[in-house]
């Protein structure tokens, strides 16, 4: 059985091995000896720990192990993970991927690839390609830690980290048979205070703005809160920070350092009052992507304590969770969805669907009703905006192409409270019979956000009388 070693891999090995001063073989000899080392035992790639339970927001390491092995000259492997559950954390070099500690058998390996790829199915691969230079090889009969990967838990659930590809060659550039074993992870919600960055989009287009939420959870008596988000100023531009619905107090810090790549924001209550409890969106941060084909990280970089209670004491063990964004130069649709006569803050959270897409591409609006859906193939698309209590709205079809983002703005009309795609007397009656009240579950009857059904709510239905949903 002859198994083909990948071209990149062979090229890598040729390049690195031939660069070494002591290795006598020529490049031609290396390529002609492709095949399988039939005498080698199967090498196991694995993780340590191979199973474990971690808490949302917690950062942990998985060690990549390899055993046994002899005369290994080079390796290529991909570690696959689900970014819905895990985020790969940059290590000291500033890169995501594998990292090595002094004394590790891989510490002196020459890596040519150590990066994160986004796959079409939504998963990600940490792709590592590397070789020992010249006559140096790697031999071990024991389970050796060849590198470490740092992850942060994004949300609760269970997920596997697995080898989606693994390949080894020995010093004759013969493939050494290998196999990979996954790590099974259980991810549980934390019960302590937490702060996380949640991007409304995982894929964004260069030149367009996108918004991320800063979400606070599990807090009691939170009197003051602040955060510092580190971003890569070469890849992103920070535009602004806006307060979210979960206000802690008065905004006193709101700064962007475009040189360091740091967004700083904080609120505090004033005087002898208690703090807030619960969870919600503390702030929205708007970024713009500068360059395409890059995965870039947003992470908290605290300069001190982030949360304080009303006694002035800092809260301990605040769980922090960052986000990664893939800037991709493909088709994109962006715009705003507005609702007449409403404070633009309330345009947040309108559901957006871009169709036809498979899987369906959905998002929600941020402050100002802004949305972006990127990573679209060349095609024509329409945008559908929906919100409970409002008439569903669709745009015309627009062609999408690389480098030409399409601006699609929509306005939602209030009044279809029974959700049957027409605004008529039945909608008015539904509000009229609960006049001066606001029944639980019917909060969307309250058009002007004054916590009761009043004449202004009714008049705004009447203004849109006989309007219908028009499919495009
Ligand atoms: Ca209706
Ligand atoms: Ca009202």
- Residue 398 placed within a domain: yes
User: Which ligand gives the minimal distance to the CA of 427?
Assistant: 1
Cα 465 to ligand 2 centroid, rounded to whole Å: 18
- Residue 255 placed within a domain: yes
Cα 452 to ligand 2 centroid, rounded to whole Å: 5
Provide the residue range defining the domain that includes 196.
Answer: 191-329
List Cβ<8 Å contacts ≥24 apart for 444-449: 444/387, 444/388, 444/389, 444/417, 445/389, 445/417, 447/342, 447/389, 447/414, 448/341, 448/342, 449/342, 449/343, 449/346
For residue 288, what are the β-bridge partners? 209, 237
Residues 427 and 288 in one domain: no
Q: Tell me which of 284, 303, 329 is where a domain ends.
A: 329
- Residue 1 placed within a domain: no
3-state helix, strand, coil in the chain (%, to 5): 10, 50, 40
Residues 125 and 64 in one domain: yes
- Residue 354 placed within a domain: yes
Cα 435 to ligand 2 centroid, rounded to whole Å: 9
Reply yes or no: is the peptide bond before residue 359 cis, omega within 30 of 0. yes
Residues 334 and 346 in one domain: yes
* Number of helices (H), then strands (E), in the chain: 4, 34
Radius of gyration of the chain (CA): 27
Encode pLDDT of 218-249 as tens digits: 999 999 999 999 999 999 999 999 999 999 99
Reply yes or no: is the peptide bond before residue 23 cis, omega within 30 of 0. no
Residues 336 and 452 in one domain: yes
What is the pLDDT, as a whole number, of residue 26? 30
Residues 389 and 415 in one domain: yes
Cα 463 to ligand 2 centroid, rounded to whole Å: 15
Enumerate residues 6+ apart whose C-beta is below 8 A from 11. Answer: none
Residues 45 and 151 in one domain: yes
Q: What is the pTM of this model?
A: 0.66
- Residue 2 placed within a domain: no
Residues 102 and 140 in one domain: yes
Residues 176 and 256 in one domain: no
Exposed / middle / buried, residue 28 (Cβ in 10 Å: 0-12, 13-18, 19+): exposed
Residues 315 and 267 in one domain: yes
User: Which ligand gives the minimal distance to the CA of 430?
Assistant: 1
Reply yes or no: is the peptide bond before residue 356 cis, omega within 30 of 0. yes
Other C-beta atoms within 10 Å of 20: how many?
15
Q: Output the DSSP codes for 406-418.
A: EE--EEEEEEETT
What is the pLDDT, as a whole number, of residue 215? 96
What is the pLDDT, as a whole number, of residue 24? 33
Residues 360 and 446 in one domain: yes
User: Rounded to whole angstroms, how far apart are CA atoms 255 and 250?
Assistant: 15
What is the pLDDT, as a whole number, of residue 343? 65
User: Rounded to whole angstroms, how far apart are CA atoms 140 and 420?
Assistant: 69
- Number of domains present in the structure of the chain: 3
Residues 322 and 259 in one domain: yes
Whichever domain contains 319, its CATH number is 2.60.40.680
Residue whose token pair is 């969805």: 337
Encode pLDDT of 286-316 as tens digits: 999 998 877 888 999 877 899 999 999 999 8
- Residue 250 placed within a domain: yes
**Cα dihedral: 154, 155, 156, 159 (round 10):** -60
What is the pLDDT, as a whole number, of residue 394? 96
Q: Tell me which of 127, 160, 188 is where a domain ends.
A: 188
Q: Tell me which of 297, 329, 361 is where a domain ends.
A: 329
What is the pLDDT, as a whole number, of residue 185? 97
Longest CA pairwise span in the chain (Å): 91
φ and ψ of 124, to 5 deg: -130, 155
Cα 461 to ligand 2 centroid, rounded to whole Å: 12
Q: Output the DSSP codes for 160-210.
A: EEEEEEEEEEETTSPEEPEEE--EEEEEE--SS-EEEEEES-SEE-TT-EE
Residues 288 and 167 in one domain: no
Answer whether 373's CB lies under 8 Å from 400's CB: no
Cα 205 to ligand 2 centroid, rounded to whole Å: 39
Averages of pLDDT over runs of 10 residues in the chain (472 residues) are: 48 50 31 58 92 88 88 91 86 65 72 80 88 82 80 88 94 90 92 89 92 95 97 96 96 97 97 96 97 86 90 90 88 93 77 91 93 94 96 96 94 95 97 96 91 94 94 89
Cα 455 to ligand 1 centroid, rounded to whole Å: 18
């Amino acid at each position: 059985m002859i198994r083909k070693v990948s071209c990149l891999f062979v090229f890598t090995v040729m390049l690195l091995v031939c660069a070494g001063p002591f290795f006598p073989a020529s490049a031609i000899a290396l390529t002609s000896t492709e095949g399988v080392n039939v005498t080698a035992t199967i090498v196991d790639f694995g993780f340590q720990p191979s199973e474990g339970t971690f808490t949302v927001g917690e950062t942990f390491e998985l060690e990549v192990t390899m055993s046994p092995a002899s005369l290994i000259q080079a390796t290529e492997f991909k570690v696959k993970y689900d970014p819905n559950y895990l985020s790969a954390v940059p290590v000291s070099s500033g890169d995501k991927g594998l990292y090595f500690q002094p004394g590790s058998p891989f510490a002196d390996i020459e890596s040519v690839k150590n990066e994160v790829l986004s796959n079409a199915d939504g998963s990600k691969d940490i792709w590592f390609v590397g070789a020992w230079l010249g006559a140096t090889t790697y031999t071990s009969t024991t389970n050796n830690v060849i590198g470490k990967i740092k992850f942060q838990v994004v949300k609760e659930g269970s997920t596997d980290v697995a080898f989606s590809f693994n390949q080894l060659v020995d010093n004759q550039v013969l493939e050494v048979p290998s196999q990979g074993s996954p790590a099974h992870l259980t991810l549980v919600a934390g019960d302590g205070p937490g702060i996380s960055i949640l991007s409304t989009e995982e894929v964004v287009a260069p030149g367009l703005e996108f918004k991320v939420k800063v979400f606070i959870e599990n807090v009691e008596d939170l009197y003051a809160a602040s955060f510092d988000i580190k971003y890569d100023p070469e890849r992103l531009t920070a535009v602004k920070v806006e307060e979210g619905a979960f206000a802690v107090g008065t905004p006193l810090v709101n700064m962007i350092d475009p040189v360091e790549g740091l967004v700083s924001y904080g609120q505090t209550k004033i005087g002898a009052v208690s703090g807030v409890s619960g969870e919600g969106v503390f702030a929205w941060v708007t970024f713009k992507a500068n360059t395409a084909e890059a995965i870039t990280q947003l992470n908290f970089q605290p300069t001190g304590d982030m949360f304080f209670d009303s006694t002035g004491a800092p809260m301990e063990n605040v769980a922090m969770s960052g986000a990664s964004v893939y800037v991709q130069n493909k088709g994109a649709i962006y715009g705003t969805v507005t609702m007449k006569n409403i404070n633009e803050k309330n345009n947040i959270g309108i559901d957006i669907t871009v169709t036809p897409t498979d899987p369906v591409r959905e998002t929600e609006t941020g402050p100002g009703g802004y949305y972006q859906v990127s990573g679209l193939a060349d095609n024509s698309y329409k945008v559908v905006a929906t919100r409970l209590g409002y008439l569903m709205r669709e745009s015309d079809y627009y062609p999408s192409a690389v480098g030409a983002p399409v601006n699609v703005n929509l306005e939602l009309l209030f009044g279809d409270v029974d959700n049957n795609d027409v605004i008529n007397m039945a909608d008015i009656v539904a509000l009229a019979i609960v006049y001066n009240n606001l029944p639980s579950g019917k909060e969307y009857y309250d058009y002007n956000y004054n916590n009761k059904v009043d004449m202004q709510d009714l008049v705004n239905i009447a203004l849109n009388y006989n309007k219908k949903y028009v499919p495009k």
